[in-house]
Amino acid sequence: MNDTELDRLLDTWEPPAPPPSFREDLRARFPRAERPRFARSLGWVLMIALASLTLAIGTGQSGGSLRDSRIVRILSQLYETCLEGLEAWQATSIVAQIRQSQPRVYVDGQLAGPLRYGHGSRMDVQVPGDGTYSITSFPIPSHRADGGLTGWVEAGHIRGNLIEFQAGGKQVRIECNKPIVGSDRPVFAMRRPST
Amino acid sequence: MGKGPAHLISDARRGKEEAFLQLLDEHHLPLFRFAWRLTGSIADAEDIVQECFLALLKPNCGFDPARTTLRTYLLGAVRNQSLKRLQRREQGTATEPADHRTPETEALRGEMPGAVASAIAGLPQTQREVLLLAHYEQLSLAEIAEITQLEVTAVKSRLQRARATLRATLGAYSPHTERTI
């Protein structure tokens, strides 16, 4: 057998193409920069805090009473907004941690598709046979002001490097390769309507 | 003119996904082929290549564009990862039955690619790596030496030995050989 014949023989051993999901799976694991979004959120929080402080000082200097119901209501609303901003910032920074810790999704113990990242602190999990669930650590009430349902429920928790929650009748576990929270946090989930 | 790999890696580390995808699109096919031929598993090859690309984003990644090309660096990373997996697999499957396939039995089943795969799998590890990189990836001896951390002369002799072994093992498939099977 000469060199050309051997080369031809070797060329018969062709590799398969990478799986179609290869690029998308790797893309889902790419840690995107989240800093500008954090900075913006934090900026808003600080601005609101500063506005509250200015208003309080101004009210005190003008001789007005802090017990004035209107002022109290405004301050209370600003305080609530401030807290909400901090929660949003924390939830988004948790997503940034998750992105950088190679999360693997298991549904009832079986490896499932990769985690997908939505806007802000929202992430999507594909639950085989049940559809897509959106999850977040940002506390979203289950009822709207008008009494209607938002679709979100507290479904589990984040503990150390694990996110665990119930999706329908199935147990979803997301394992990260490093801790993503210092202390336990609840996880809120919503089943997304199929399109 | 497009950005060089060092720029693209730097952009990807700053969170620019398009830079990361450009690197991926340029290099993933030869890496996947090499990983698959070393491990024989699509899932392993996929995993190995993904890990190698993600490792590029880490600040302690050892790629130095002044010393080597990105392709050579990544092929070296794939080789190291594949070796680790193969070693783990060997430790875990000591009782696995031996592969009794021969060129003759493969030919009987009409599996020439399988026979080639078996013959290559039967080569000693470094000969196998050198052959895969030289024949299938068309790398120069110097590039292979860099990846396998051997001298160029050692690469050359291993390649010659690998080809000689394959000629003998696959001799039954030569068009000049009269088949008796």
Whole-complex ipTM: 0.81
Task: Tell if the CB–CB gap between B14 and A12 is shorter than 8 Å.
Answer: no
Q: Which of A176, A17, A28 is nearest to A102 (CA)?
A: A176
pLDDT at position B96, please?
Answer: 43
Task: Tell if the CB–CB gap between B167 and A23 is shorter than 8 Å.
Answer: no
pLDDT at position A77, please?
Answer: 81
Token representation of residue B92? 């875990």
Task: Tell if the CB–CB gap between B53 and A26 is shorter than 8 Å.
Answer: yes
Instruction: Give B65-71 contacts, CB < 8 A, sequence gap 24+.
Output: B65/B4, B65/B5, B65/B6, B68/B146, B69/B5, B69/B143, B70/B5, B70/B9, B70/B23, B70/B27, B71/B27, B71/B30
Q: How far is A26 from chain B (nearest CA, A)?
A: 6
B20 CB within 8 Å of a chain A CB: yes
B132 CB within 8 Å of a chain A CB: no
Among the partner residues B37, B45, B163, nearest to A6 by beta-carbon distance: B163
Q: Confidence class of residue A19 from pLDDT cuts 50, 70 and 90?
A: confident
pLDDT at position B78, please?
Answer: 95
Q: Confidence class of residue B95 from pLDDT cuts 50, 70 and 90?
A: very low
If you search the block for the tokens 């190291």, which residue do you land on? B80
pLDDT at position B97, please?
Answer: 40
Interface size, chain A vs chain B, as Cβ–Cβ contacts under 8 Å: 82
pLDDT at position B59, please?
Answer: 79
Strand partners, A110: A107
Question: Which of A9, A12, A24, A111 would best serve as a mutation to test chain B binding (most B beta carbons within 10 A)?
Answer: A9
Express each pLDDT in A91-119 by its tens digit. Answer: 888 888 888 888 999 998 888 888 888 87
pLDDT beyond 80 at B94: no
Work out the mean pLDDT of chain A and round it to a whole number. Answer: 82
Global pTM value: 0.56
A5 CB within 8 Å of a chain B CB: yes
B17 CB within 8 Å of a chain A CB: yes
Residue A149 is classified by DSSP as B
